Amino acid sequence: MYRAGGEVGADEVARLAEALGVDGTPVAQGQTWRVGATDGAGPSLQVNKQAPGTWTFYRYAPGTDNCQSTTVCAKAPAPPAGDPVSEAVAKKAAAPVLKAVGQDDAKLDASQVMGAQRAVNANPVVGGLPTYGWTTGITVNAQGEVVGGSGQLKAPVKGDTYPVLDAEKTLGLMNAAPGADGRMGIGGCASPVPLKDRLEAPCGAEGSTGAEPDTAASASAPARDVITVEKAVFGLAAHYVNARQALVPSWLFEVRTQGAQDSFTVTYPAIDPKYLASSTPSQEPTGQPSPRPTGPKDDSTSSPITRNVGADGYTSDDSKLTVAFTGGVCADYKVTASENGDEVTVRVTETSQPDEVCILIAKVFHKTVQLDEPLGDRKVVGTDGQAIPLEKPGTLPDAPQTSGAR
């Protein structure tokens, strides 16, 4: 397993800022470093101090501060039009940035086009293994200029070592994962071999690569789509361990749905389940790898466990406040907001069940709460009093970062 530790220093931020063409000296603001414009008038770089040092960069602010009042702003200038540059030009423009973050040997994909912009997605090689979910994304405009980006600044280092499973056993665990009837996230089971005219069956039913079938359950369960696994590669996938991102030994499955032209990747941890800890009444997220096999707790309780979760960002629409946060797929979440003067305090509460064994697959959630009055220029803060940043397009992913399957 690999994980990043420590804090990001000003020198590391300055090196990245130079590669991005952002002028200025890194300034510490709470738990982040900031370089460049703070009013949307120029390039801006923001880096989290805590490892892995998540960073975001905008050359042109997605919004504007040209406001006539607290609720009415002028439209931001439209980005330059034109055709996207070639993949080679985009990769060349991204090279200095990737070198600054130590990913100049990463596997690059520059096929994604968004209007006149081309995205370069870099997946670094760590410990000689390919990675998934630890991506650096760089956006290049029609003029060949880097206009946006995000990634992690701190390089992960090798930590604990665990026995791993082969691809077939891992596929079986993925299909039989609890809480989703073994179905993949998009509605089917993964199958290691493409078969024509096969009978579609529930995950875990006879003929699937999952748990042994339950006759009664199989008879009453509806048919599921079968998703074919075309290729399996051993690598490292990003998962949350003790509330921080880590690269966990995983199988990266290249899969294709029936009739689809393109394949896509889903991942699942290759660690033997006996080394995955069950939920315990603590302030730490559950499902983290354990240094030893774990069993039932003698002091287990059936009472739900609750804890506060930090918010990653927010957006507002009149009196509706939408909060983004990262959580696991095995817990329930509730978002509340309390209004006090010129501040709105957001609380995200996680509720999980004790002794429920769960692999912590992280995803970004968005939940909306109704305010008593429009947000206006009021500040949005967490329960610790720290400001919650405005969520901007491309800052947070919309789908699970660690696995496309359950």
Asked whether residue 209 falls in the same domain as residue 119, the answer is: no
Alpha helices in 4-139 (DSSP H): 10-20, 87-100
Do 141 and 171 fall into the same domain?
no
Cβ-in-10-Å burial (0-12, 13-18, 19+) of 114 comes to exposed
**Of 130, 158, 186, which residue is a domain's last?**
158
CA atoms of 266 and 184, how far apart (whole Å):
9
Q: How far apart are CA 25 and CA 22, in angstroms?
A: 9
Q: Are residues 77 and 222 in the same domain?
A: no
Query: Quick check: 58 and 38 in contact, CB under 8 A?
Result: no
Q: Is residue 293 part of a domain?
A: no
Q: Please check whether residues 123 and 106 belong to one and the same domain.
A: yes
Residues 14 and 117 in one domain: yes
Task: Tell me: do 32 and 88 sit in the same domain.
Answer: yes
Per-chain mean pLDDT for the chain? 76
CA distance 8 to 50: 6
Count other Cβ atoms within 10 Å, centred on residue 305: 19
Q: Is residue 78 part of a domain?
A: yes
Clarify whether residues 30 and 127 are in a common domain.
yes
Specify if 103 maps to a domain.
yes
| C-alpha separations of 105 from 19, 85, 102, 144 in Å | 16, 22, 8, 21
Could you tell me if 147 and 181 lie in one domain?
A: no
Residue 147, token pair as written in the block: 């206009």
Structural domains of the chain, count: 3
∠ Cα 107 113 119 (to 5°): 40
Q: Do residue 77 and residue 213 come from a single domain?
A: no
Residue 43 lies in a domain: yes
Which residue type does 257 have? T
Q: Is the peptide bond before 52 cis (omega within 30 degrees of 0)?
A: yes
Give a yes or no: residue 114 inside a domain.
yes
Asked whether residue 195 is domain-assigned, the answer is: yes
Quote the CA–CA distance of 300 and 278 in Å, as a whole number.
11
Domain end position, chosen among 225, 254, 275: 275
Domain match, 113 and 214 both: no
Identify whether 300 is part of a domain: no
Is the Cα dihedral 255, 277, 2, 155 positive or negative? positive
Both 194 and 104 in one domain: the answer is no
Last residue of a domain, one of 275, 293, 318: 275
Predicted pLDDT of residue 93: 96
Tokens of 107: 């596997």
7, 141: one domain: yes
Q: Give domain status of residue 390, yes or no.
A: no
CA distance 275 to 263: 31
Q: Using 70 as the pLDDT threshold, list the residues of the chain that sit under it.
A: 39-41, 61-81, 178-225, 242-243, 276-303, 329, 353-363, 393-406
Domain residue limits at 317: 305-381
CA dist 191 and 337 (Å) reads 44
